[in-house]
Amino acid sequence: MFSLSNKIAVVTGAGSGIGQAVALVFAKQGAHVHVIDLNEEQAAAVVNKIKSGGGKATAHTVDVANQSQVVSAFNKIAQINILVNSAGVSHIGKADTTTAEDFDRVYNVNVKGVYNCLFAAIPLMKEKKQGGVILNMSSIAAVVGLADRFAYSMSKGAVAAMTLSVAKDYIHDNIRCNSISPARVHTPFVDGFLKKNYPGKEAEMYEKLSKTQPIGRMGTPEEIANLILYLCSDEASFITGSDYAIDGGFIKLNS
């Protein structure tokens, strides 16, 4: 089950965190994975890891906020069966403490970056007449109020809306589009955030953040990647226009 043999998959933000976990599990299941990341060294390291395990992968250094870069890279790939929009940035701040520069930075990566990849990939999927699968990274922030996450929540609400629009517009082109909404996931970003904002209290704050999920811990990138694998596999061929919470009970059990 969940074989991706002979599939061409593009994963953005695949140099670290959830994107890296997706790239690794996709390659394990037989896909040729195109690793898209702004960090050239991290992208190359993921590709080397995949190849050392007998998988197929290619690295591309791309800024998803730059449409010309995205279109150029995707046109070189030419055939895309699966697109996972995992690239993203976070921000801490309220409406009156978020600067225009910070707002634009979050928008350019999390919203425009997803749009740019959709803009580049959908014509290729339609051209080959084989359809395709798109998975967008939303968040619990799209549906619940999170303190001090104004710009980030805005961006993930936009991702949720884009997912529904794409699912509706291209259903007759055999293109499926879904999203997932994780709660807190233990990635290098979390460790960096704790080190920067709570020096000397990293373990204490990590435990506190973990307990905000009713299940009592953060998710792992691998757990997120396994759900994405299912939604991008042929076993999920009847699913489109849906969002899946993967949140340790955060949305339903915290009320």
Q: Which of 96, 104, 136 is nearest to 10 (CA)?
A: 136
Alpha-carbon gap, residue 168 to 190, rounded angstroms: 35
Bridge partners, residue 177, by sequence: 134
Q: Which of 183, 162, 155 is nearest to 244 (CA)?
A: 183
112-128 vs 67-77: helix axis angle to the nearest 10?
30
Beta-carbon contacts of residue 10 (< 8 Å; ≥ 6 apart): 33, 34, 36, 74, 77, 80, 82, 83, 84, 117, 121
The catalytic residues are 152
Q: Which of 180, 190, 83 is nearest to 138 (CA)?
A: 180
